[in-house]
Amino acid sequence: GTHGEKQHVGRSGDGGIDGVIRQDALGLTNIYIQAKRYADTNKVGEPEIRNFIGSLDTQGASLGVFITTSSFQPGAVHTAEGYRHGRI
């Protein structure tokens, strides 16, 4: 949106959230981001997605983006697709 604003929050103890994009001036629509820098052979698994879902729920978030330099295991994809009808 035209009011989009970003915030980097990733650090030790970040609660599983590396960044936030605020989509509107009131801050009602936030997209929470998790990023993992993994080797090609180290795929993101279901536990990482479940942890991210827990972080989203803690934040009261409705949208999340999980970014990786590698790829996702099938179980991770299935779990993400099932979260609030694919809101990851």
CB 56 within 8 A of CB 23: no
Count how many domains the chain has: 1
Cα–Cα dist 25/87, whole Å: 22
CATH of the domain at 63: 3.40.1350.10
Query: What mean pLDDT, rounded, does the chain reach?
Result: 85
In this structure, of 5-19, 25-39, 62-76, the range with the lowest mean pLDDT score is 5-19
Domain that holds residue 61: 5-85
Cα–Cα dist 50/80, whole Å: 8
**pLDDT for res 44:** 97
In this structure, of 9-18, 37-46, 55-64, the range with the lowest mean pLDDT score is 9-18
